[in-house]
């Protein structure tokens, strides 16, 4: 169930001397809404970039009203989301692997229902982490990107994606752990993504107000906690921004990757409420927290490979 397929993108064999970046995501579309411009910019500069997607998004909802009547979305959402992921991968210019786990869904109600049997979030940690450790040992990334302890927002699959990324970062370099998953490889840096950085939303909000434009962030900022595109309110981040990657020229690429996920992303929705020109002027970065580094690090950073190059 949890083995990655060798037919999903070009060979995983790393190129000698190349810098390599691995981003761990819970569902197809997460790679487009979190760090997409960063990945596209590094890929264009010759860095080998790999996205690992933990689940197929089988239990997701159709979030774009224009896709409600689409027969493929009704008949085979999982298959359609795989095709959307392939399109996003090609837009970003990255490699991709499915880790092969079942979407846990987002439990709702009071009391919350149990998660489905066999889903990703119910796996024992070592079972869930093993295919990622295998991928780390074959792709040999220098840098791993993940979510924070709350998953960016508290979806059970996001939280489990965080847990296995941290586990793989620590375990992949230990030849005694996860036997039969390849030769040990020790990544050098672990970052948490800050896609929902409140400072960014506040800066954009103020710029819109100064321009006399309506801000889509007003109500959320008034509530202090910034909602994500589905209306959930993640806990306030506990890790400061240490690293900003200037990638404004890749915001259009990011948006094309987002639009590739037609079942999940409304082109008239949250992600496109502010023009890319204003975003480039006000906040032309994507933000990260450096959590662990096995090389000397001087903060703040402007490069995920600082200390490695």
Q: What is the DSSP annotation of 135-173?
A: HHHHH--SEEEE--TT-SS--HHHHHHHHHHHHHHHHTT
pLDDT at 112: 83
**Strand, coil or helix: 99:** strand
Token pair belonging to 117: 């049997």
Task: Kindly compute the dihedral angle of the four CA atoms of residues 138, 33, 147, 23, in this order, to the nearest 10 degrees.
Answer: 10
What Cα–Cα distance (Å) separates residue 308 from each residue in 24, 183, 185, 277? 20, 21, 15, 32
- The CB-side HSE value for 227 (13 A sphere, CA atoms) comes to 14
According to DSSP, the residues that pair with 52 across neighbouring strands are 24, 97
Rounded mean pLDDT of the chain?
A: 90
22-73: per-residue pLDDT in tens?
Answer: 999 999 999 999 999 999 999 999 999 999 999 999 999 899 999 988 888 8
Cα–Cα distance measured from residue 259 to residue 90, given in angstroms and rounded to the nearest whole number = 13
Share of the chain above pLDDT 90, in %: 75
Say if residue 17's pLDDT is above 50.
yes
Residues comprising the binding site for Zn(2+)? 27, 30, 158
122 φ/ψ angles, rounded to the nearest 5 degrees = -95, 0
pTM: 0.90
245 φ/ψ angles, rounded to the nearest 5 degrees = -105, 115
Residues comprising the binding site? 27, 30, 158
Cβ atoms of 172 and 126 within 8 Å: the answer is no
Say if residue 225's pLDDT is above 60.
no
What Cα–Cα distance (Å) separates residue 274 from each residue in 11, 18, 151, 201, 225? 38, 35, 25, 11, 19
The domain locations on the chain are 1-196+239-309
Give the architecture-level CATH label for domain 1-196+239-309: 3-Layer(aba) Sandwich (3.40)
**Strand, coil or helix: 210:** helix
According to DSSP, the residues that pair with 144 across neighbouring strands are 22, 190
Say if residue 163's pLDDT is above 50.
yes
Cβ atoms of 304 and 243 within 8 Å: the answer is yes
């Amino acid at each position: 169930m949890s083995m990655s397929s060798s037919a999903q993108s070009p060979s995983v064999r790393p190129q000698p001397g190349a810098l390599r970046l691995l981003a761990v995501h819970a569902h197809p579309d997460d790679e487009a809404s979190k760090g997409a411009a960063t990945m596209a910019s590094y890929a264009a500069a010759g860095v080998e970039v790999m996205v690992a997607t933990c689940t197929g998004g089988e239990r997701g909802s159709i979030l774009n009203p224009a896709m409600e009547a689409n027969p493929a979305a009704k008949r085979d959402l999982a298959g359609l989301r795989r095709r959307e992921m392939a399109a996003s991968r090609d837009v970003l210019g990255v490699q991709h692997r499915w880790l092969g786990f079942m979407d846990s869904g987002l439990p709702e109600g009071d009391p919350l229902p149990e998660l489905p049997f066999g889903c990703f979030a119910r796996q024992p940690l070592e079972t869930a982490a093993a295919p990622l450790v295998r991928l780390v040992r074959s792709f040999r990334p220098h840098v791993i990107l993940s979510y924070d302890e709350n998953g960016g927002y508290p979806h059970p699959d996001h939280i489990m994606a965080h847990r296995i990324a941290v586990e793989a970062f620590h375990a992949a370099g230990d030849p005694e752990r996860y036997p039969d998953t390849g030769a040990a490889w020790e990544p050098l840096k672990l970052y948490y993504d800050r896609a929902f950085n409140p400072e960014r939303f506040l800066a954009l909000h103020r710029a819109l107000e100064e321009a006399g434009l309506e801000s889509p962030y007003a109500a959320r900022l008034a509530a202090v906690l910034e909602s994500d595109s589905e209306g959930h309110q993640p806990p306030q981040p506990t890790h400061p921004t240490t690293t900003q990657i200037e990638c404004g020229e890749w915001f259009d690429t990011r948006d094309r990757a987002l639009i590739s996920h037609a079942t999940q992303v409304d082109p008239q929705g949250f992600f496109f409420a502010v023009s890319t020109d204003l975003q480039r002027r006000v906040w032309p970065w994507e933000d990260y927290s450096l959590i662990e580094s096995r090389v000397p690090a001087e903060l703040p950073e402007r490069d995920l490979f600082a200390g490695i190059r």
